[in-house]
A and B are shown apart, each in its own frame.
Chain A
Amino acid sequence: MKVDKTLVASVALHVLVIGWGLISFSARSLEAPPPESMPVDIISADQLSKITAGIKTGEKDKPKPPVEKIADARPVDDAVGKITEKKEIVTASAPEPPPKPVEKPVEKKPDPPKPVAEDKPKDEPKPIEKKPDPPKVDPIAEALKSEDTKKLVPKPEAKAAPPQPPKPKQERTFDQSKIAALLDKRDPTRQSITGSALNSSASLGTTRGAAATLSQSELDAMRARLASLWNVQPGVEHPEELYVTVRIRLNPDRRLAAPPQVVSSGSSARYQAAAEAAVRAVLQGQPYTMLRDETYEQWKYMDIDFDPKQMFRS
């Protein structure tokens, strides 16, 4: 029969295929690159609180625009800033001993431009909007400016030279740092409000941030207090029966906002006694002065476990 021949052919074919499979079908193990290590710093609770702390006096309404670069920001809508500077230079160069009085008059003279120019170099963009009041000169800012200006000196001088006939009369004391500061004002002409300075002032922190966490020490203190107040017979059999969970709600004044609720359940008489003791302990323990204001969100609602093993561990 022909099938015999073809059967042989078929077998040969399969042998070939399987042989090829044996050779080529070797499992390659997948390469698993080790995950990149992530550096972890361990910081103390104290450090954490310092990091996340905001300043209470910060303004909430006007969020500061984040500024990363000083130079690149695009100019403000109105060109006010640019115009002012030239005139100011003149005035600046003749500063009276007390810097503040000098600057005020000077700046008011050039009416068209608001004193924006002066404010820009300062750290915060905000003040610009407040223009009307005299700009405060703050020594640190001045110092900073002076540092900046040293680099930039060549330009501003070139600009400054031509326009300045108006007020040569005033005495000119040569005070390098002040000149630098004044020069600084005009050279940032281009800087837009948003881009004028790094926004380095402290923020309020995010509204939803939970960075302030209930610290272990607070918890421990509270636990210690409750343990001292929880009057339950230790050392009885089956202490696990005495496990009581009490839910409390606290006011910011650290007192209970509502009567404590026993969440756990148990039937034995000893459990009932323990639960009542726990409730009493919670009531007696207030106010819980060990809790911090910052973490109110954390301890507003609490489930307190009264566990004989935990409480009397020591």
Chain B
Amino acid sequence: MNPADVAQAALPLPSADVSLIALFLQAHWVVKAVMLGLLACSIWVWAIAIDKMFLYSRTKRAMDRFEQAFWSGQSIEELYRALSAKPTQSMAACFVAAMREWKRSFESQARSFAGLQMRIEKVMNVSIAREIERLERRLLVLATVGSAGPFVGLFGTVWGIMSSFQSIAASKNTSLAVVAPGIAEALFATAIGLIAAIPATIFYNKFTSEVNRQAQRLEGFADEFSAILSRQIDERA
């Protein structure tokens, strides 16, 4: 028997295991459920966040590229032909939708200019709305986790402390060694809630402002493009 073992044996109370796993395993099942739920939330939040980060940077790059091409003096017809061949997104989608409407109006024999302007704007608005919807999708999850996560964690904590107090009452022993593990495991729930909620809130704020910026950029482009088309309409009418 080496000295360390002796020392261990000499301790009156074997110090409770307070590693993360032990904290989780010792917890009441309600607290466990809360912890697992919050962990899932956290994973989901980070998945969304990573996805959105890539999406936004991709969208931004696409917009840049499109604007460069649009204002490069290249003919709009050629641009349309190049873009309409493949599925497009964001600004390009908006452009393609407007051009398609324009072409249809001109290629059909009816040559109805009346209302063409309005139709183009409608089409562009729809495509912008679709685009924004795509950008915003799942952001609400972040908002929800960000606002409800701490409460859920707190619920777990309250429940854990409640049950640990009950066990104190049952064991009729109030020494800190008895109380501490239960409270530690209960607080662990709040910790997880905060860990899930803080990034969610930060990402939500960041992504919301990003979406707003991109939507504004899209609308600006739409206005400009509809102005150009409206000039064309007036010239040809």
Contact = CB atoms under 8 A, between A and B. Distances in A.
Given A7-B43, A9-B47, A13-B46, A2 B54 contact: yes
Interface in B16-42: 18-21, 39, 42
Contact of A14 (B21, B46, B51): B46
Contacts of B50: 6, 9-10
Contacts of B19: 22, 25-27
B44 A10 contact: yes
Contacts of A11: 43, 47
A13 B39 CA distance: 12
B48 interface: yes
Given A11-B43, A14-B42, A29-B15, A3 B48 contact: yes
A228 B66 CA distance: 114
Given A26-B19, A27-B19, A3 B51 contact: yes
B42 A25 contact: no
Nearest to B52: A6
B122 to A, nearest CB: 30
B51 A6 contact: yes
Contacts of A27: 15, 18-19
Nearest to B16: A27
A18 B20 contact: yes
A13 B196 CA distance: 13
Contacts of B51: 2-3, 6
Nearest to A28: B18
Contacts of A25: 19-20
B43 A10 contact: yes
Contacts of B44: 7, 10
Contact of B21 (A7, A10, A22): A22
Interface in A57-82: none
B42 A22 contact: no
B47 A10 contact: yes
A154 interface: no
A97 interface: no
A14 B47 CA distance: 10
A7 B50 CA distance: 8
Given A3-B48, A6-B47, A9-B47, A14 B20 contact: no
Interface string A20-38: 0110011101000000000
Interface in B41-72: 42-51, 54-55
A16 to B, nearest CB: 11
Contacts of A13: 46
A239 to B, nearest CB: 32
24 contacts: A3-B47, A3-B51, A6-B47, A6-B50, A6-B51, A6-B54, A7-B44, A7-B47, A9-B47, A9-B50, A10-B43, A10-B45, A10-B46, A10-B47, A10-B49, A11-B43, A13-B46, A14-B42, A14-B43, A14-B46, A18-B20, A22-B20, A22-B21, A25-B20
Q: Which 3 A-B pairs have the closest CB atoms?
A: A10-B46, A10-B47, A27-B18
Interface of B: 15, 18-21, 39, 42-51, 54-55
Interface of A: 2-3, 6-7, 9-11, 13-14, 18, 21-22, 25-27, 29
